[in-house]
Amino acid sequence: MDTGGNSLPSGPDGVKRKVSYFYDPEVGNYYYGQGHPMKPHRIRMTHALLAHYGLLQNMQVYKPLPARERDLCRFHADDYVNFLRSITPETQQDQLRQLKRFNVGEDCPVFDGLFSFCQTYAGGSVGGAVKLNHNICDIAINWAGGLHHAKKCEASGFCYVNDIVLAILELLKQHQRVLYVDIDIHHGDGVEEAFYTSDRVMTVSFHKFGDYFPGTGDIRDIGYSKGKYYSLNVPLDDGIDDESYHFLFKPIIGKVMEVFKPGAVVLQCGADSLSGDRLGCFNLSIKGHAECVKFMRSFNVPLLLLGGGGYTIRNVARCWCYETGVALGTEVDDQLPQHEYYEYFGPDYTLHVAPSNMENKNTRQLLEEIRNNLLDNLSKLQHAPSVQFQERPPDTELPEADEDQDDADERWDPDSDMEVDEKRPIPSRVKREAIEPERKDSEAPKGTVEQARGFDNLATNETLSTKSVDVRPMAIDEPTVKVEQETSNKASDPIYPKS
């Protein structure tokens, strides 16, 4: 089987991969608040498209087991996790000091079911890592995950728990090296920070750089100490198109795969880098975005696909549906099937949307400078760093329920999910969105870049250290995960009723 380059087609003749897909039918019920651009409902819309395109029958579908507090505390500070568990819209006015300390309130509002939401999306990402570690699948997908801004003890950029860091820590139990690639329009600062001093995790982020949230991700930020040259940042300007994006993505990632030789890859597929995103300023088509998934798939390395940003929700659903097809090696039809969210996709009712005619501010000269700079950094790497032998701890216990065996009859309710976000809005939030809906993330306060980022596991919650999270295998008192028995999926379209 071919193992490198862009050798594997994603059409009907593509080499098939065994795919595990994580979805909780409750995820679409969570509501950040009136005027807030982050809408978990987009995950339900994506799932509906997958069902009506018939893609679910080609995957093993799992409902994730919610991550427990001790799972979240493998990266996050105990008091921060306790705060997320206890805070509610009714009690937040009594905890103003804590809200400020943990950066919760505006971009990251308190809403009904906040902690359950965090447990759900983190459980899907860690569960996907467990499936990959046990060779249950070749590719695991959790579109509810990918919340890359969350820090050890604070929320940031609509993200509360960093499911990506937790999934990578799980993968490191089995794999000596893990590669993280981020194609969200925003810099993957939370993940980079966590592994900034490690040579076991390489982070590569392609993002808008300049006066733009979170303000980090300079090309000169390359890692620190043992992690020097293991952080790659690809700073881009407005209007980048498919051709320019791939001019950087393919040679850089190709060289990373050659030199770093990861045992597993985590790809954050934030859809706010698509043309026409509510908060974005790039000009990628859905096929151009998905070409990155196709390219990573071609290396035949265990792959975890996660969601992320994306604020024009009809395009988010289009994108992640198409990328699920790419993961499966199936080309899906451009004409959308009739389904309960069909009216969202008018007037064309097609899967693909043409990019705009916006100016591409990324000149060829600038792109060549970026590419040469990063390839030069990669040439300085020690090839495939080794890890000292140590006893491997047991895997996290996440025996996800197989959705094919749960509520088989109820799932086919034709009237399911017809009414959107009926929960009573919680007042407040995201001032810039409420005042000027069209303003961009660039107006958020610019983040600071410490020379040596990350929080020491042993440090106090608010003290920066030159160490990042310890990425050695971490012993936890949990039995080995039980592997689910394979069952054949239903051929019909599993749409979950709204509870």
Mean pLDDT along residues 15-29: 94
Provide the angle, in degrees to the nearest 10, between the axes of the packed helices 313-328 and 286-297: 30
* Number of separate helices (H) and strands (E) present in the chain: 12, 9
Q: Is residue 27 part of a domain?
A: yes
Cβ proximity of 150 and 156 under 8 Å = yes
Burial degree of 194 (CB within 10 A; 0-12, 13-18, 19+): buried
Would 437 be classed as within a structural domain? no
Q: Which of 479, 150, 131 is nearest to 304 (CA)?
A: 131
For strand 201-208 and strand 231-236, is the pairing parallel, antiparallel, or unpaired? Answer: parallel
pLDDT at 422 exceeding the cut of 50: no
Structure-block tokens of residue 102: 């943990």
Domain holding 42, by residue range, is 19-354+361-380
Tell me the binding residues for substrate.
107, 157, 311
Torsion of CA 182, 183, 187, 188, to 10 degrees: -20
- Global pTM reads 0.80
CATH number of residue 60's parent domain: 3.40.800.20
119 is a domain residue: yes
Query: What is the rounded CA–CA span in Å between residue 256 and residue 225?
Result: 19
When the pLDDT of each residue in the chain is averaged and rounded to a whole number, the result is 82
Dihedral angle computed from the Cα positions of residues 80, 269, 370 and 452, in that order, rounded to the nearest 10 degrees: 10
Average pLDDT over residues 271-287: 98
122 is a domain residue: yes
Binding-site residues from annotation: 107, 157, 184, 186, 272, 311
Alpha carbon distance 141, 268 (integer Å): 10
Q: Is 314 exposed, middle or buried (0-12, 13-18, 19+ CB in 10 A)?
A: middle
Does 496 reside within a domain?
no
Catalytic annotation present for 149:
yes
Residues 465-483, mean pLDDT to the nearest whole number? 39
Domain tally, the chain: 1
Q: How far apart are CA 271 and CA 277, in angstroms?
A: 8
Residue among 149, 187, 207, 339 flagged as catalytic: 149
Task: Determine, yes or no, domain membership for 246.
Answer: yes
Question: Per the domain annotation, does 411 fall within a domain?
Answer: no
Range in 88-97, 127-136, 210-219, 412-421 the model is least confident about: 412-421
Binding residues for a divalent metal cation: 184, 186, 272
- State the average pLDDT over residues 286-305: 98
For 160-212, what is each residue's pLDDT tens digit?
A: 999 999 999 999 999 999 999 999 999 999 999 999 999 999 999 999 999 99
- The mean per-residue pLDDT over the stretch 14-32 comes to 92
Q: Is residue 447 part of a domain?
A: no
